[in-house]
Amino acid sequence: MLACLAWAVNAQANSIFGFTDDDGVEHLSNVPDDHRYRLVWRDSAEARTPLGRPTKGLLALPPDSRPFHAEIYRASQDTGLDAALLHAVVTVESGYNQAAISPKGARGLMQLMPATARRYGSSNPHDPAENLRAGARYLRDLLALFDNNLELALAAYNAGENAVLRYGRKLPPYAETRRYVPMVVAHYHQLRRRSASN
């Protein structure tokens, strides 16, 4: 059972549990209704990482105090996406490291593959403003493609839109994607709450 956003809507259901079954499929839920579920993320009044450890420094900061906030805000204004969502993606994708390069070749703050960066107008994926603008436009288009379903758009951002389409517009059964989506969603809602309380 996979429930990514349902727990976020319900203030009482703010933990994520998970297990991998015998077929290698990772299951995530806010309702641990199987003895195999183990806690993988817990939210609380204290700022925490998606793995439940108390945060210090950068991750404890509200969005407007984080690095590259001005560029993220401009990309937000350009695309209509919530700046907190872009901060959440940057946090999980690169940890605000503009020089980040993944083993698969994704680059920059939003970890764009070179072809995607070029498609969205970025010739230098390590330039923060270019990378953020291109990544935000890509995410905006994914949200439009998947009828504003945040989980599916994030899954497509992580695994590619064709993977989500191939699995019938559902989260593909990739362990990395099944971890990635709830981590971004959890951090996004955490950032929104922190912004609202400031």
Sequence-separated (6 or more) residues with CB below 8 Å from residue 85: 139, 150, 188
Is residue 19 packed enough to be buried (19+ CB in 10 Å), middle (13-18) or exposed (0-12)?
A: middle
Told to judge if 93 belongs to the known catalytic residues of this protein, a careful annotator would answer yes
β-pairing, 38-42 with 26-29?
unpaired
Distances (CA, A) of 59 to 47, 67, 128, 159: 8, 11, 19, 25
* Catalytic position from the list 26, 46, 71, 93: 93
Q: Specify whether the CB–CB gap between 154 and 185 falls below 8 A.
A: yes
Q: Which of 183, 187, 194 is CA-nearest to residue 40? A: 183
CA 13 – CA 182 distance, rounded (Å): 13
> Under DSSP, is residue 172 helix (H, G, I), strand (E, B) or coil?
coil
Would you please indicate which residues are annotated as catalytic (active-site) residues?
A: 93
